[in-house]
Structure formats: C-alpha cells, structure tokens
Amino acid sequence: MKKGRFFAVLSFMTACALVWPSVDDHVFANEGLNEKISNVQEERKSNQEQARQTEEELKAVSQQLSSLNQEIRIIDEKTSETNQNLRDKQAEIDEVTKEIERLKEELKVLEERIAERDNLLKDRAKSMYQSGGAVNYLEVILGAKNFGDFLDRISALSVIAQQDKNILDAHVADYEELERMKSKVTEKLSTLEEHLSELERLKAKLEVQRKEKDQLLASVQTKESDLQSNIDMLDAEDEILRSQERSLTNQLTELETERISAAHTPSRSNGNTIENKPVVTNSGFMRPATGSITSEYGPRWGRVHHGMDIGKNGRSGDVPIVAAQEGRITTAQYSSSYGNYVVISHNVEGQQISTLYAHMDRLDVNAGQNVAKGQQIGLMGNTGQSFGAHLHFEVHTGGWNASKSNSVNPRQYLP
C-alpha cells in the first residue's frame, strides 16, 4: 500500500466534513456525493482485495509455522533434556570435588601421623646407635636380683621388641595407605576432568540446539510479522474509507430528507462509547522473576504483545520463576507457542485475576495444585516460539482465553 493514497484519503475525508450543500442545490450535491461514494467503494474494493491476498499469504505462512511446531517441540524437548543433563553433570562435579577435598584432608592427617612416627623412629635409631647398635640383653638378664625379677626383665624386653615391630608395621601400613589415597585422588581428579569436558560438550550441544531453533523460526516469523503489519495498515486504511463512505452516505441521506420533508435534520450519533477502565492498584503481587524488562505490554511488530518479557540477560545458571500471588494452578503444560507454561487463577478482593508464565525450561507444578506467593513453579527457559531465554508474563482480569480479550498491562499489578 502506498502512503500517498493513505494520506489522500485522510485529506479527502477532512474536506468532505467542511462541505455541506444547501437544499437549493441538492440535485447537484446528490450527483457529486453519489460519484464520491462510488469512488470510495471502488477504493475499498481494491483495498479489500489486497488485504484478502495478503491474508492468504499470511495463512500459508501460518500453516508453514504450524508444520514447524512439531520440529520445534522436538528441539525444545532435546533442549530441556540437555539442560537437565547439565544440572546432573554439575551435581556430579560438585560431588567429586567434595570427595577430593575430603581425601586431601585425610591425606594431610596421614602425612602428619607419618611425620610424627618418622621422628619417633629417628629418635629410636639414634638411641640404639648410641648404645652400640642394640639393647645389651645379657646385661639386662644378668642384672636380675632374683628369678622373679629375671622373668620381669625378660617380659619387658619382649614388650619393647614387640613395640618396635608394631611401630615399624604401622609405619609401613601408613605409607601404603598414603600411596593408595594419592592414587585415589589422582583417579578422582581424572574423573573430574572428564566431567568438566562432558559439561563443556553439553553446553556446546545446547548452543547448537538453540541456534537451530532460532534459525527455524526466524525467517518464517519475520515474514509473518511483515505480512501482519501490511494487513494492519490495510485495515486502518479501510477503516478510514469506511468512515468516509459513512459520512458521505449520511450527507446524502440528510439532503434527501430535506428535499422531501424540509422538516428537521435527523440527529446523528457517532455510536462511540467510551468506557473507562478501572484503575488497578497494586494488589500484593510480586515480580515473578528477577531480571530487566526486555519487552513491554502493547503494540509490537504489527500486533499486540499481550504480556511483559523479563530477560535472562546472559546470566549463567537457573533463574527461578515464582508465583506472583497465591492461587490455584489451572494449566501446567506444553504448547507450540508458549512452550512450557503455567496459568494461575487468583482471587483478589473477590475478583478473579489470572497470570500466565511462558517459555519455561522446566515445570515444577501440576494443574489443580495450590501455590503460595513466591513459590517456585519452574525455571526460565526458551521453549516454544521464543528467541533467547526469558519469561513471558501475562495478567488477565478473569479467566485466560485464547483471544486474550481481557489481558491488561502487568505493570498495573507489579511493584
């Protein structure tokens, strides 16, 4: 659609509002108005044909997008599985790291015990060297005062010899245990390296899956958005043409009425009703996730964005999604557009309010479950028709419906 034609229509409509034929020249005015109405109708017909063709193209693109939904779901499932594998692998890494730290502490204690025994054996060896290299057993035995003392001395010598043997045996055992524990630490460190390598492989796999999904959606969604914008512009122009046609028809009717009865001009009403929405104040809701707002509620890409997006913004690790207010889970499932999503019904001062949380990586709740304000219901993700990990958050006055006719700006409720 050309902008020149669009603004010409606006100018023409304004001009018509300034022209009002008198009863005396109603014949001339009737002919002029009929011609103008015919021109507007032709314009509308051409405009509507363009809109029809564009809608056909949009329908084809939408069908193409629908055919991709199964592929997208498979990728989402693979992505969720990879995310879970990442969490499991990280848990294994944490466990092995703790085990290594514990072994290192045990090694430290063992090495200290060996060092103390080393000093004891060194002192023992020094004492034996100074006494000639061995205990003078003959002097000990001949120095006995009586037979009982003789037996006591023999027993003492046996105890000393056994203690020396026990010390040496314990020392050898500790050295063997030291080598075994060092080998175990080396083995655990090797396992840790394998886990870290696997973690990097999983991260790379996750990135490939995300790019695959983005590429799958990008071209189709861009074309769909462009076609929808074109349709919206054609609809806007048609609305102006319809208003112009209605204005011209009203003028023609009034002129004909004046010609017949010359009584009075029928009162006209534009039929518009202005309905003021109630001001909604903060009703105790909390933000459902941390992070900055990446997209607001309202017009976006040629259509209405019925929610608010909170981005992950490059943060590593899991970002919890929590219930903005206490309520009951009415929906917890997967859809091709929302991915993994949850709908919660709340009772706020006798009014039903529904909140929706979309594109989650994981669901932690089930339909029918009651949740408290701030309770975790899932993890921020990138499932469904989504580019990049974020939370799409909607608020509806009443129950949620597919047309989203009762959606409102979440900022009215959030602190």
Q: State the SS3 of 37-88.
A: HHHHHHHHHHHHHHHHHHHHHHHHHHHHHHHHHHHHHHHHHHHHHHHHHHHH
Average pLDDT over residues 395-402: 88
- Half-sphere exposure of residue 131, counting CA atoms within 13 Å on the CB side? 11
| Residue 9: pLDDT over 80 | no
Total Cβ atoms within 10 A of residue 315 = 12
The confidence score (pLDDT) of residue 164 equals: 56
Q: Encoding tokens for residue 162?
A: 């056994």
Q: Which has more confidence, 162 or 282? A: 162
Instruction: Give the CA radius of gyration of the chain.
Output: 42
The confidence score (pLDDT) of residue 133 equals: 47
The rounded distance, in Å, linking the Cα atoms of 379 and 358 is: 10
The confidence score (pLDDT) of residue 3 equals: 45
pLDDT band per the 50, 70, 90 thresholds, residue 289 = very high
What is the four-CA torsion angle of 211, 198, 289, 305, rounded to 10 degrees? 10
The confidence score (pLDDT) of residue 151 equals: 56
Domain boundaries, the chain: 3-77+213-260, 86-209, 293-412
Lowest mean pLDDT among 184-193, 224-233, 286-295, 328-337: 224-233
| Residue 368: pLDDT over 90 | yes
The confidence score (pLDDT) of residue 123 equals: 65
Q: Encoding tokens for residue 37?
A: 């109405």
For residue 8, what is the enclosing H or E element? helix 3-18
| Residue 272: pLDDT over 50 | no
| Residue 233: pLDDT over 90 | no
For residue 105, what is the enclosing H or E element? helix 26-130
Pick the CATH number of 293-412 from 2.70.70.10, 3.40.50.10440, 3.10.180.10, 3.20.20.150: 2.70.70.10
Mean per-residue pLDDT over the chain, rounded = 74
pLDDT band per the 50, 70, 90 thresholds, residue 244 = low
Looking up tokens 């993890």, which residue turns up?
A: 379
The confidence score (pLDDT) of residue 146 equals: 53
The confidence score (pLDDT) of residue 338 equals: 92
pLDDT band per the 50, 70, 90 thresholds, residue 131 = low
Lowest mean pLDDT among 59-63, 87-91, 127-131, 374-378: 127-131
> Rounded to whole angstroms, what are the CA distances from 184 to 110, 205, 283?
14, 31, 58
| Residue 218: pLDDT over 60 | yes
Q: Which has more confidence, 327 or 134? A: 327
pLDDT band per the 50, 70, 90 thresholds, residue 215 = confident
Average pLDDT over residues 348-363: 93
What 3-state DSSP class applies to 407? strand
Q: Which of 334, 313, 332, 314 is nearest to 323 (CA)?
A: 332
Q: Which has more confidence, 390 or 25? A: 390
Q: Is the pTM of this model over 0.85?
A: no
pLDDT band per the 50, 70, 90 thresholds, residue 43 = confident
Lowest mean pLDDT among 88-92, 102-106, 125-129, 130-134: 130-134
